[in-house]
Amino acid sequence: MMLSIKDLHASIDGKEILKGLNLDIKPGEVHAIMGPNGAGKSTLGYVLSGRDGYEADSGTAQFNGADLFDLEVEERAQAGLFLAFQYPVEIPGVSNMEFMKESVNAIREKRGDDPLSASEFLKKAKEACKQVDLPLAFLKRGVNEGFSGGEKKRNEIMQMILLEPNLCILDESDSGLDVDALQVVANGVNSQRDGKRSFIVVTHYQRLLDYIEPDYVHILADGKIVKSGDASLAKEVEKTGYAWLGAKAEEADA
Amino acid sequence: MSEQIEQAIARKYDAGFVSEVESDTFAVGLDESVIRRISAMKNEPEWMLEWRLKAYRSWLKMDEPDWAHVDYPKIDFQSISYYSAPKSMKDKPKSLDEVDPELLRTYEKLGIPLHEQEMLAGVAVDAVFDSVSVVTTFRAKLEEAGVIFCPISEAIQKYPDLVKKYLGTVVPQRDNYFAALNSAVFTDGSFVYIPKGTRCPMELSTYFRINELNTGQFERTLIVAEEGSYVSYLEGCTAPQRDENQLHAAVVELVAMDDSEIKYSTVQNWYPGDENGKGGIYNFVTKRGLAETNAKISWTQVETGSAITWKYPSCILKGDNSVGEFYSVALTRGRQQADTGTKMIHMGKNTRSTIISKGISAGHSSNAYRGLVRMGPNADGARNFTECDSLLIGDKCGAHTFPYIESRNPSAIVEHEATTSKVSDDQLFLCRQRGLDPEKAVSMIVNGFCKEVFKELPMEFAVEAGKLLEISLEGSVG
Ligand SMILES: Nc1ncnc2c1ncn2[C@@H]1O[C@H](COP(=O)(O)OP(=O)(O)O)[C@@H](O)[C@H]1O
Ligand SMILES: [Mg+2]
């Protein structure tokens, strides 16, 4: 098992958001998580990646045999957990290039690999840049500095490609994208599917799943996975929306 | 999060060692006889002594300024020693081979190798240890180009006419309290003279080191760039870690004649005191340049040290079309206090000035930018652009901006932009999620914030400045 989440509860500011969530992901699998706004999808990504203020109250998460909640944020990243942000933040004055080179080498160091030289890294970065259809000038620009929404999302995928993680959590990497950009993001993801790397694809809409075919689809509502199925579940959601969940979630609560 | 960041910037001072060098140090105290002794130690001509005494008499009548946004107990000027020299300097060394090896080791430890073959390619160094200049390297090569780069004490002997002509013309003896004190008791510093039409063939650099206990360092630097010449000059400063406060009151004067350019960079890392504010250097410095027609003066400073900094490198843009620039990074942490900025005095027509100030405050520190832009009545078409950015790390520090604008010419344009930002949780989380530890993350974010200033530094020193910030921000994270 790549990731095994058991009965996860988490609250933010005293309010319980995740209310007993279970999820198992094997190497190479793609799991889509769908659900209405406010269901706790981003919260799940933050709890797994260890963001301050998003600690688990109870429950466990095993990641490649290690207890995820025992690790610092950067240790989880170094162990191969990657989160593509729903709202990527800007770091003015720090070039994408510099940022990614430091990151890649920090992770390589932990794995016992030699750091990449400037020219080795540049070569990889240029390829990744092309893969997500960003002009090379983006390598020199400050991290997300003045990027459009779509450029930010593509930049996240570029980082994912460069960091070669084991588990990628994509938090609404499709929101705000036109069809072309959506295709670019999906191609970026599909290029990284190698039978070993696993993905959690969080999305509000079914649209992205036309391009990234998931092995499983889960519906997250009110802090729990209320329904799981194969790719056809996403199609069902597209037709019926999330309205039916209201009653169901309350039911589950009671 | 602020707790975490605060731990990430817990202090560590690498240059805090004390050197075992035997010294001749004056007893503490200041009166006319002390000034006469300093002058005699340096074998100075009569005019120099008179100049000092005049400054001293003015100083006695002046009051210590209290307008800066800094807070410190009154300095007892009678508890300071005004002269200290390593014993071995009595018979001044003619070459590096004759320099006390302990002194050389001191500079090596600081990362400033004085052996020419080991030096940063093409940088001439003058090293000032306590009150005297230890050694100036690369002299012959500079002499070939007609450039004079030597300790000011030596210039007073060898080039009295030049020194007499320019000393005190930009910063008069009675300019301010600390400048007057410096004029009375200055012990050494560098003198640079670039002849007409000459491009100085290498970077010039001076390293200042305060070693002795209870000594003040009062260095005086004078740089004269004749018509159409160019020079880039860098100063670096460190001091041992001591519980007592030490005073550093320097004066730097720049004279840029028509069509010349002087680029003056500072990397200041005096001991800042401990986390409770014990010890550290009081850095009260007067730096000013005078630019004649079409001349350009650029001040770039990276200030990470000192318990208290009081410093406003300024440009008097006297000649038409002259240009003044000020690029500054000032980082304060622990209990450090900095009140720093610049003055751009536009006198000539079409004079232009640019001010980019980056203040970074962490811990319980206080960081103030104080800048004056004055457009004189004849400054037709003059322009200033000021950008003043503050970055806060944690929530116990303070940043303040005091811009003063005086315009007496309606055709002059003054633009001012100011921002305050924080190293945010989001930024820190992004960095850590990408595998960077919090220290690295903070130092990277801070470096990015300073980029506009670092790119103004000479290449080698930009790297050094980045590392210095990193060390300054180093600590453990819980
Ligand atoms: N930082 C926060 N402070 C307080 N409440 C929060 C915070 N972040 C998220 N929430 C709340 O947690 C719930 C789940 O949010 P989120 O995980 O962002 O949902 P989703 O990503 O599924 O739209 C929402 O009710 C939201 O308002
Ligand atoms: Mg969300």
Distance CA A118, CA B253 (A): 42
Opening angle at CA B400, ends B395 and B402, nearest 5: 175
CB contact B450 to A (< 8 Å): yes
Tell me how far CA of residue B447 lies from CA of A144, B414, B438, B471, in angstroms. Answer: 16, 28, 14, 12
**Which residue, chain included where needed, has tokens 């940022």?**
A99
Q: Average pLDDT, stretch A72-91?
A: 95
B4 contact residues in A (CB cutoff 8 A)? 52
Give yes or no for residue B275 having a pLDDT over 80: no
Q: Average pLDDT, stretch B299-314?
A: 85
Q: Average pLDDT, stretch B318-327?
A: 96
Mutation for B interface: A46, A47, A73, A95, most B CBs within 10 A: A73
Distance CA A145, CA A143 (A): 5
Give yes or no for residue B232 having a pLDDT over 60: yes
Percent of chain A with pLDDT over 90: 70
With contact defined as beta carbons under 8 Å apart, do A92 and A145 qualify?
Answer: yes
- pLDDT tens-digit series, residues B71-107: 777 888 888 878 776 555 555 555 556 556 665 666 5
Give the pLDDT confidence score for residue B352 in this predicted structure: 97
* Average model confidence (pLDDT) across chain B: 81
Domains contained in chain A, CATH given: 3-244 (3.40.50.300)
Distance CA B449, CA B303 (A): 15
Q: Which of A77, A91, A100 sits opposite B427 (nearest CB)?
A: A91
> Which residues constitute the domain of residue B208?
2-473
Residues β-bridged to residue A252: none
Express the helix, strand and coil content of chain A in percent, nearest 5 each: 40, 30, 30
Smallest CA separation from ligand 1 atom 26, residue = A38
Q: Is residue B145 part of a domain?
A: yes
Give the pLDDT confidence score for residue B104 in this predicted structure: 61
Q: Is residue B358 part of a domain?
A: yes
Q: Is residue B313 part of a domain?
A: yes
Distance CA A118, CA A195 (A): 30
Query: Which ligand is in closest contact with the Cα of A175?
Result: 2
Cα distance from B331 to chain A (closest Cα, Å)? 17
Give yes or no for residue A182 CB within 6 A of ligand 1: no
Give yes or no for residue B133 having a pLDDT over 50: yes
- pLDDT tens-digit series, residues B328-373: 988 888 787 888 899 999 999 999 999 999 988 887 888 889 899 9
Helical pair B177-185 and B32-41, crossing angle rounded to 10 deg: 50
Give the pLDDT confidence score for residue B361 in this predicted structure: 86
Distance CA B413, CA B276 (A): 44
**Under an 8 A CB cutoff, do B449 and A77 touch?**
no
Q: How far is the CA of A3 from the centre of ligand 2 (A)?
A: 21
Task: Name the 3-class secondary structure at B190.
Answer: strand
Give the pLDDT confidence score for residue B475 in this predicted structure: 46
Chain A and chain B share a number of CB contacts under 8 A equal to 74
With contact defined as beta carbons under 8 Å apart, do B346 and B353 qualify?
Answer: yes
Distance CA B98, CA B117 (A): 16
**Under an 8 A CB cutoff, do A102 and B444 touch?**
yes
Range name among B171-175, B387-391, B465-469 with the lowest pLDDT average: B465-469
Closest residue in chain B to residue A90, using alpha carbons only: B427
H runs (alpha helix) in B110-252: 139-144, 152-158, 160-166, 177-185
Cα distance from B233 to chain A (closest Cα, Å)? 26
**Which residue, chain included where needed, has tokens 């006297």?**
B318
CB contact A155 to B (< 8 Å): no
- pLDDT tens-digit series, residues A203-250: 988 888 999 999 999 999 989 999 999 988 888 888 888 777 665 544
**Banded pLDDT at B11 (limits 50, 70, 90):** very low
Q: Please give the ipTM for the structure prediction.
A: 0.94
- pLDDT tens-digit series, residues A139-188: 999 999 999 999 999 999 999 999 999 999 999 988 888 888 889 889 98
Q: How far is the CA of A77 from the centre of ligand 1 (A)?
A: 22
Distance CA B270, CA B273 (A): 9
Give the pLDDT confidence score for residue A50 in this predicted structure: 95
**Sign of the torsion formed by the C-alpha atoms of B175, B180, B184 and B186:** negative
Distance CA B239, CA B242 (A): 9
Give the pLDDT confidence score for residue B169 in this predicted structure: 96
**Banded pLDDT at B455 (limits 50, 70, 90):** confident
Give the pLDDT confidence score for residue B127 in this predicted structure: 64
Task: Name the 3-class secondary structure at B282.
Answer: strand
Q: Which of A73, A110, A163 sits opposite B429 (nearest CB)?
A: A73
B430 contact residues in A (CB cutoff 8 A)? 85, 88-89, 91, 143
Cα distance from B371 to chain A (closest Cα, Å)? 24
Q: How far is the CA of B230 from the centre of ligand 1 (A)?
A: 59
Give the pLDDT confidence score for residue B118 in this predicted structure: 41
Distance CA A80, CA A167 (A): 6
- Which comes out higher in pLDDT, residue B70 or B38? B38
Give the pLDDT confidence score for residue B95 in this predicted structure: 56
Range name among A155-169, B25-39, B446-460 with the lowest pLDDT average: B446-460
Task: Name the 3-class secondary structure at B140.
Answer: helix
Give yes or no for residue B24 having a pLDDT over 60: yes
Q: How far is the CA of B106 from the centre of ligand 1 (A)?
A: 57
Q: Is residue B395 part of a domain?
A: yes
Smallest CA separation from ligand 1 atom 2, residue = A12
**Under an 8 A CB cutoff, do A52 and B447 touch?**
no
Give the pLDDT confidence score for residue A163 in this predicted structure: 94
**Under an 8 A CB cutoff, do B445 and A72 touch?**
no
**Under an 8 A CB cutoff, do A102 and B436 touch?**
yes
Give the pLDDT confidence score for residue B76 in this predicted structure: 84
**Under an 8 A CB cutoff, do B435 and A77 touch?**
yes
- pLDDT tens-digit series, residues B145-182: 999 988 898 899 999 999 999 999 999 999 999 999 99
Task: Name the 3-class secondary structure at B193.
Answer: strand
Q: Is residue B478 part of a domain?
A: no
Give the pLDDT confidence score for residue B35 in this predicted structure: 93
Dump the DSSP string for A161-220.
HHH--SEEEEESTTTT--HHHHHHHHHHHHHT--SS-EEEEEESSSGGGGTS--SEEEEE
Total of domains in chain B: 1
Q: Which atom number of ligand 1 is nearest to the Cα of residue A223?
A: 14
Give yes or no for residue B218 having a pLDDT over 70: yes
Q: For the whole model, what pTM was predicted?
A: 0.80
Give yes or no for residue A252 having a pLDDT over 50: no
Task: Name the 3-class secondary structure at B156.
Answer: helix
* Average model confidence (pLDDT) across chain A: 90
With contact defined as beta carbons under 8 Å apart, do A227 and A218 qualify?
Answer: yes
Q: How many CB atoms lie within 10 A of CB B144?
A: 9
Give the pLDDT confidence score for residue B93 in this predicted structure: 53
Give yes or no for residue A74 having a pLDDT over 80: yes
CB contact B470 to A (< 8 Å): no
Mutation for B interface: A89, A90, A147, most B CBs within 10 A: A89
Q: Average pLDDT, stretch B35-58?
A: 93
Give yes or no for residue B135 having a pLDDT over 80: no
With contact defined as beta carbons under 8 Å apart, do B205 and B263 qualify?
Answer: no
